[in-house]
Amino acid sequence: MVSSVRAVVCLSLWLTVCRVSASHIPVRMNKTIQNLLLHYKISAKEKFNGKPVFSRELLEGKMEEKHIFIGGVLETYEQLIDQMLQQLPEQVAPTSTETKASADASASASASADNVRTDLNFILTKIQRLRRDRYQEQTKLLQGLQNLKKINFKDFVVQSKALWELPWLYEEASSLPHQKEMQRKRRRRRRQTRRGRNPARNMTHN
Ligand SMILES: *[C@@H]1O[C@H](CO)[C@@H](O)[C@H](O)[C@H]1NC(C)=O
Ligand SMILES: *[C@@H]1O[C@H](CO)[C@@H](O)[C@H](O)[C@H]1NC(C)=O
């Protein structure tokens, strides 16, 4: 019930967005990105070097995998923008020994850094919100994968416990492809049953 209400709310929100523009990128967000690109300028040769930062390969896979990968991409964007924010020059108060010209120059530099900071924070908020609202499950899964990378292989206790946990996990890993196949078959059978039942229902209504 709650989830169907949420679905209706999501759908109507989505329709509202669609009526404003055909794209999912809000106009202000697109403008902000274009604005930032004026600051983060590189040559065309660098831009079109045939090596995108985010590979498209995993986006051509199945829906489930795609969802997980995109969740990871969003998280990476958050970290990247965090880094970009940290690299911006700090706001510095002009000292009394500074000449007027250099004070003006540093003021205008910090003003432009402030604009970039505002724009970056806006984009960051957009990404964070999308990930929080739509990618919770994927975030949890990715966190689980990252935790695997943090396991301390050198710890004797970890080594022993891992061995002890292996039989169950090995069993699970071996039976999973089989379970998936069974699920697929069951789904197909259910579909066939439903199709087979339809004429009967039609007859009882006559
Ligand atoms: C974003 O802005 C650029 C430049 O103004 C424009 O060419 C592009 O079509 C816009 N994209 C979307 C999705 O609105
Ligand atoms: C269902 O019943 C209608 C008559 O009410 C009949 O015209 C139609 O052919 C039937 N469909 C099937 C699949 O039996």
Three-class SS state of 171: helix
Distance CA 162, CA 73 (A): 30
Enumerate the domain spans of the chain. Answer: 26-92+105-150, 153-196
* Protein residue closest via CA to atom 9 of ligand 1: 30
Cα torsion 102, 107, 31, 49: sign:
positive
Q: Is the pLDDT of residue 73 over 90?
A: yes
CB contact at 8 A, 38 and 31: no
Q: Is the pLDDT of residue 60 over 50?
A: yes
Report CA dihedral (195, 201, 202, 205) to the nearest 10 degrees.
Answer: -170
The vertex-73 CA angle with 149 and 12, nearest 5°, equals 130
Task: Using most ligand atoms within 8 A of CB, pick from 194, 202, 206 the residue to mutate for ligand 2.
Answer: 202
Q: Is the pLDDT of residue 201 over 60?
A: no
Ligand 1 pocket member 37 (CB < 6 A):
no
Provide mean pLDDT across the span 111-137.
94
Cβ contacts of 91 within 8 Å, gap of 6 or more: 110, 113, 114
* Residue matched to tokens 């109507």: 12
Q: Is the pLDDT of residue 121 over 70?
A: yes
Q: What is the pLDDT of residue 19?
A: 47
* Protein residue closest via CA to atom 3 of ligand 2: 202
21 vs 136 pLDDT, higher one:
136
Q: Is the pLDDT of residue 17 over 80?
A: no
Model confidence pLDDT, tens digit, residues 180-192:
888 888 888 888 8
Out of 90-99, 130-139, 164-173, 175-184, which region has the weakest mean confidence (pLDDT)?
90-99
